[in-house]
Structure 1
């Protein structure tokens, strides 16, 4: 990494907003193409990997998935799962592996198209106003934690924390903990609390699950070999960008997250949380339905793997299929507020594109409007969004290809007309 500075009035060829793996990937490719640029990061490079994950976080994708332009995982555990700090150090090592021109501690608050003949973009930043021929948004798509409206109905004595800010059990007061949401964060945090001996209640969402291993190999390795991560958003439909990722864990070398087994260990499973009434959190009666759905998705993935093995003539061990270890016997009913001391909200994030101002790069629903990261505004690009081009686009596995595509477009369509 090559720390640089910007000053009020500077003109820069390309400004990359965001100093995570996506922004660094574009920087790597722009350097290779000899293109003038800077990376603006509002905090420190790749800080999110350390500052926005819990202490026992691990990747859910195998380490061999970790590959960026000119940089791949070369550690001793290609089929293992890096911890939070290991991921941070690996991506930080990427930043240090080449001379990415990075400006840390600078926030971009507004991007405008000036209409001037030579400088199409004006960026208002905490370090002053600069102009640029191109702008790349590499900030991802998950910006602001979300909370349901009824969170305000919980008594002040109950601690509320979002998964974004959860680090460990010691943050929370004594008593039971209600975790709301069963995406990757919610299920892993619920397990983390259960391991720590806490009384845990889990409000289920609609997330599917996937087995960790099947027929001798990690399921995500099977899916990669099958080309699933190369399937494009256009093929699956744009609605896919709103889908919830399958829950599984890489903890302790990787294993399934089976909510039914959590119930056998004492975790209270509830349907979707609806709100507070009569001194209790109330839920709908959908526990069985949600568990059956999650299991059906996991089994359908196994069906696809079976078909691939048979089609390709692969010699793989045969494995017995999953059988439910627990089934609900009825509606557990409301959860008295007196039984919990904290709520961990794991119900997602929303995007914040306010810094784009009136730039016409969002669709009518407020989503980035692009074709593989290229927008209708010449010189403005997105990178690192979930399902931006393929299922792999929001993951380490797909960033390199997407970054190369953007830079190829930049080189093929220069925007500056300055002498």
Structure 2
């Protein structure tokens, strides 16, 4: 395609999830021409990469996409998968973004004369600004040890898990105890499957405490307004594993110790497979204690808030372990264990290899200030803790998108004042 034939837009948004569509909402509000490229369909992750019993772990009232807050009958409840899909689809329909679905962005490079060349599966475009809204959960992580497991063991990643019935009969090893791992382990456990869970250093929190949802308490305490710069861990908070808890059946705690009492087998971190044995780090007791310490620490912070504000609430409590491992199990003979399948729940990696820009640190992570990078014209949106806890969620992604778009509008108006863009 010749230079003259290339279509030019002011802004190209890469990714059509809630982050990309929120960005489109604010670009439309400012009448800035743009295109959104989505390699599948808008918001597809909620329908294509979640299990059947998936639900939100935060109350519905926290769903506040721009121009599209939750307005259903149960603000304190937790939307289930079909309701989430409907909520996102309604948002997309309301925004009516200029989106190219089924189109992948293969390469973005800087042009000598300014702006960017955007190479896509349907041809080339040029743009003054690039907004990366593809998220931080793109490439499923499966360890290389998986290649050495017997072919008789069915293996899937958490994004492929739908329900217990899709797995062969027999025991299931769930590797990882973050939000997905803990909830999938629970889903299998409730279905009567024999579950073996490799537990990592994931924190947990209570669903309800002293008469209210813990999320509501934390909102009152200003936690969700805390920026990454104000957090004690600073940018290190972006590396934190999310707390495991569930909104299932109206919401409840996830207590791995209780599951163990009911027959779930718990181990430390899965580290290797060799000589027919699964090998685990002997850190189960430590990991369970860490999760409980976090649980009680959050509740103690709520106790302090209640004491300082004088809010009336039921009395405090402290979680006491209901089960302790008798001994650490460092190995498990796979043959004879009854395990016939493994669900890998050890996370995702971002995929930014298509972006040729000097915005990444030594670990390959984007360097930015609330999504704005030092590379003029390159912005990010929708990443975990981009600015606050809710940046990668329905709760605050719209506010971050508004901020990013305001900076884009300022740059465009300085470059092309004749357009008369609002700032």
- Tell me if the contact between 1:55 and 1:167 (Cα under 8 Å) persists in the aligned partners: yes
Which residue of structure 2 lines up, in the alignment, with residue 13 of structure 1?
10
Q: Is the partner of 1:97 in helix, strand or coil?
A: helix
Which residue of structure 1 lines up, in the alignment, with residue 353 of structure 2?
354
Q: 1:78 aligns with which of 72, 75, 80?
A: 75
Q: CA offset at residue 416 of structure 1? A: 4.5
- Tell me if the contact between 1:9 and 1:130 (Cα under 8 Å) persists in the aligned partners: yes
The CA distance in 2 between the partners of 1:375 and 1:16, in whole Å, is 15
The CA distance in 2 between the partners of 1:286 and 1:378, in whole Å, is 46
Q: CA offset at residue 411 of structure 1? A: 1.6
- Work out the number of aligned pairs and report it: 410
**Are 2:393 and 1:395 aligned?**
yes
**Are 2:261 and 1:264 aligned?**
yes
Q: 2:131 aligns with which of 107, 122, 136?
A: 136
Which residue of structure 2 lines up, in the alignment, with residue 238 of structure 1?
235
Mean CA deviation greater in 40-49 or 222-231: 222-231
The CA distance in 2 between the partners of 1:303 and 1:214, in whole Å, is 10
Mean CA deviation greater in 144-153 or 329-338: 329-338
Q: Is the partner of 1:397 in helix, strand or coil?
A: coil
User: Could you list the per-position Cα deviations for residues 337-369 of structure 1 after superposition, in whole angstroms to 9, with x for gaps in the alignment?
Assistant: 122101111011111111103x11212221011
Q: CA offset at residue 334 of structure 1? A: 2.2
**TM-score scaled by structure 1?**
0.95
- What residue ranges of structure 1 are gaps of 5+ in the alignment? 1-6
The CA distance in 2 between the partners of 1:153 and 1:67, in whole Å, is 45
**RMSD after superposition:** 1.5
The CA distance in 1 between the partners of 2:417 and 2:6, in whole Å, is 16
**Are 2:10 and 1:37 aligned?**
no
Q: CA offset at residue 336 of structure 1? A: 2.1
The CA distance in 1 between the partners of 2:286 and 2:375, in whole Å, is 45
Q: Is the partner of 1:224 in helix, strand or coil?
A: helix
Which residue of structure 1 lines up, in the alignment, with residue 160 of structure 2?
165
**Are 2:190 and 1:192 aligned?**
no
Which residue of structure 2 lines up, in the alignment, with residue 53 of structure 1?
50
- What residue ranges of structure 2 are gaps of 5+ in the alignment? 419-423
**Are 2:99 and 1:102 aligned?**
yes
Give the alignment of 1:278-317 within 5 angstroms. 278-317=275-314
The CA distance in 2 between the partners of 1:168 and 1:336, in whole Å, is 26
The CA distance in 2 between the partners of 1:313 and 1:418, in whole Å, is 54
The CA distance in 2 between the partners of 1:55 and 1:113, in whole Å, is 42
The CA distance in 2 between the partners of 1:409 and 1:353, in whole Å, is 22
Q: CA offset at residue 17 of structure 1? A: 0.8
Give the alignment of 1:215-254 within 5 angstroms. 215-236=210-231, 237-254=234-251
**TM-score scaled by structure 2?**
0.94
Q: CA offset at residue 105 of structure 1? A: 0.8
The CA distance in 1 between the partners of 2:22 and 2:347, in whole Å, is 26
Q: 1:378 aligns with which of 376, 398, 404?
A: 376
Which residue of structure 2 lines up, in the alignment, with residue 111 of structure 1?
108
- Tell me if the contact between 1:180 and 1:347 (Cα under 8 Å) persists in the aligned partners: yes
The CA distance in 1 between the partners of 2:291 and 2:53, in whole Å, is 24
